[in-house]
Structure 1
Amino acid sequence: MEVGDTALGYELLAEVGEGTYGKVYRAREVGGNQRLLAVKKFNIHSDASENGIPVFMIREVALLSKMRHFSHPNIVKLLDASAVAVGRSLDLTLVLEYIDQDLSTFLSKAPASGLSHNCIKNVMLQLLRGLDFLHTNMVLHRDLKPENILVSSHGEVKIADFGLARIYTFNVALTPGVVTLWYRAPEVLLNCVYMSSVDMWSAGCIFAELFLLRPLFQGYTEVQQLQKIFEVIGLPDEDDWPEDSPVSYSVSLGPKGSCINLIPNLGPDENDLLAQCLAFRPSSRISAAKALAHPFFRKH
């Protein structure tokens, strides 16, 4: 077993994930209360690090460090970070609180009859509280999906993986290639300017998935993804099509008109909240703060 060289002592127990730049391990704190930890270890070789640490890593460390001071219960906590030069390479280590599963795994264990209404309400409440905190602090997550939402064995929901997150201002230029395709908002697919409402679209997709136990929009190209979206919410009027989009308006993208019930067999409150999350126009999309006050949560 390897003992960590950050200020927080730990021993690695098992590898639990692997990415382009490194690996994620389950670890245990040495001394103290011996809590379980998640350790992300990145090795940046000389050919990849000529321009320093990749931007997404800097963002993740900076944003998690900023948010650590607030200690929000629905944001995964960064406990420690270190960077060590090894020859011409750089070893970057992040130590985070450990949560045993993500929402994707949680959904895969759901009974065939589906999740209970209270369970869905509880997951969405916590997710929206985390999003409201991020957006209040001018942070866009930009890659919300079940794999980046952690669910503890006690039912705690925490937003994780801030590699694509950005602090936004009114004039910032944001990259179009963000958010996994199935959870990507129309304005991102259309290569338009976007703001925090992109996270609310992703939250709406996740809300639907909690009922369906499968992704709502499963396209495999950007055009097909738009078609899948418009099959459900209806093709907007040409007047609502964003002027800054390089993609031309076309009636072939989907059926005209809006759909009142996006998912059959949902109650009016559920459908209303879902429809407000999945509004085509970002300015018409509900905010996290307003969603938390929606009758769907108040009634139960």
Structure 2
Amino acid sequence: MENYVQVTEIANGAYGRVYKARDLNHNRLVALKKIAVINDEQGIPISTIREITSLKSLQSFGHQNIVRLYDIFANYTVDRRTMDLTLVFEHVEQDLQTYIRNCPSAGIDTRKIKDIIYQIVNAIDFLHANRIVHRDLKPQNVLISRQGIVKVADFGLAKVFCENVPITSVVVTLWYRCPEVLLQSTYATPVDMWSVGCIMAELYLREPLFCGQTDIDQLQKIFSMTGLPDESEWPVNIPFSRSTFCQYTRRPVQYSEMMPEICQDGVDLLQKLLKFNPKERLTAEESLQHPYFQDVLPSEKSDNHGDVNGRQ
């Protein structure tokens, strides 16, 4: 760690603190993410070891749209009840939340929106192909460089560390969570695709699509826009009854009315990403083939797409 000099604090969230630092060995800027992991009775939780191993193995592929992890350092506290982890990532200038906030009053160019979404989906496809679910995809966890290259960050870390740190409503937003998570039902990779849909809408609107304050309020915000799903689609063995939301039976809001700049293919993609039923939601692989992306340059489509097992 003596080879890294902290410059300034970048963020302070549920999973630790992030600092901008200088790597003296390579004369480059990096991001240091510092996290405290509470040891269980057997020592470091096996889930932590497993996820860090997975995280490191992905880096060998060097996917363009995944933030690079350069190094990991671990130190025990004096009582050995807590292990302080420091993860050294490549430094990227800003996150997507800042990018949206600083966009010109006329909005983000629709071609740029398409390019950003394509890169995000490309990253998520890579993660899903390698059996990793991000689970916390939101604009703050998507970085964008001055060259316009998108980097998905914090993948897998929520799963590793969420049991060992306090989570507050201030730092963990509900706005990008899918219905099955809010309803406390089972979930899998489609959770990330719902988040992609929310981010896509936000790029057009320049504000979040669903801004709930609690799980119930978030569901109400969703159903007021998408309409209440049929009884046959409602999950079983969950603590929420469909009748709780019976007032949201009117026709769904038209995305084209909310976002005049979006094309018809964009509306179609958005509708298929924001499906209540996760089995009907487009996968990342299917999304990459959607007509909305048909005019993405072939060279952009071929860059770093695939998985560590060689799938193309």
Which TM-score tier does this pair reach, normalised by the shorter chain?
A: 0.7 to 0.9
| Equivalent of 1:269 in 265, 269, 279 | 265
**1:153-192: CA deviations, max 9, x gaps?**
11111111132247xxxxxxxxxx9x73111111111111
1:150–1:57 CA distance, 2 compared to 1 (3 A):
farther
- In the alignment, structure 1 residue 83 sits paired with structure 2 residue 79: no
Which residue does 1:102 correspond to in 2? 95
- In the alignment, structure 1 residue 118 sits paired with structure 2 residue 111: yes
Which residue does 2:173 correspond to in 1? 180
- In the alignment, structure 1 residue 64 sits paired with structure 2 residue 64: no
Which residue does 2:11 correspond to in 1? 17
Task: For 1:132-147, list aligned pairs within 5 A.
Answer: 132-147=125-140
Normalised by the size of structure 1, how large is the TM-score?
Answer: 0.85
1:256–1:109 CA distance, 2 compared to 1 (3 A):
same
Q: Which amino acid aligns with 2:142?
A: I
- How far did 1:82 drift? 1.4
Distance in 1 separating the partners of 2:120 and 2:23: 28
Secondary structure of the residue aligned to 1:236 is: coil
Which residue does 1:172 correspond to in 2? none
- How far did 1:20 drift? 5.2
Q: Which structure would you say has the larger RCO, counting Cα contacts within 8 Å and 6 or more residues apart?
A: 2
- In the alignment, structure 1 residue 282 sits paired with structure 2 residue 291: no
Which residue does 1:295 correspond to in 2? 291
Which residue does 2:20 correspond to in 1? 26
Task: For 1:185-264, list aligned pairs within 5 A.
Answer: 185-250=178-243, 252-256=245-249, 258-259=251-252, 261-264=254-257
Q: Which amino acid aligns with 2:285?
A: A
1:249–1:97 CA distance, 2 compared to 1 (3 A):
same
1:55–1:127 CA distance, 2 compared to 1 (3 A):
farther
Q: Is the 8 A contact 1:65 1:78 kept in 2?
A: yes
- The percentage of aligned residue pairs carrying the same residue is 44
Mean Cα deviation higher: 252-261 or 227-236: 252-261
- How far did 1:289 drift? 0.9
Which residue does 2:154 correspond to in 1? 161
Q: Is the 8 A contact 1:114 1:211 kept in 2?
A: yes
Q: Which amino acid aligns with 1:131?
A: I
Q: Is the 8 A contact 2:15 2:158 kept in 1?
A: no
Task: For 1:40-59, list aligned pairs within 5 A.
Answer: 40-43=33-36, 48-49=38-39, 51=41, 52-53=43-44, 58=49
Q: Is the 8 A contact 1:11 1:30 kept in 2?
A: yes
Distance in 1 separating the partners of 2:10 and 2:44: 23
Q: Which runs of 5+ in 1 are unaligned?
A: 167-176
Secondary structure of the residue aligned to 1:16 is: strand
Mean Cα deviation higher: 187-196 or 10-19: 10-19
Q: Which amino acid aligns with 1:185?
A: C
Q: Is the 8 A contact 1:56 1:164 kept in 2?
A: no
Q: Which amino acid aligns with 2:71?
A: D
Distance in 2 separating the partners of 1:84 and 1:247: 43
Secondary structure of the residue aligned to 2:158 is: coil
Q: CA RMSD in A?
A: 2.3
Mean Cα deviation higher: 199-208 or 245-254: 245-254
Distance in 1 separating the partners of 2:13 and 2:45: 14
Distance in 2 separating the partners of 1:230 and 1:56: 35
Which residue does 1:173 correspond to in 2? none
Q: Which runs of 5+ in 2 are unaligned?
A: 161-168, 297-312
Which residue does 1:170 correspond to in 2? none
**1:189-226: CA deviations, max 9, x gaps?**
11111110010001000000000000000111111111
Count of residue correspondences: 279
Q: Which amino acid aligns with 2:12?
A: E
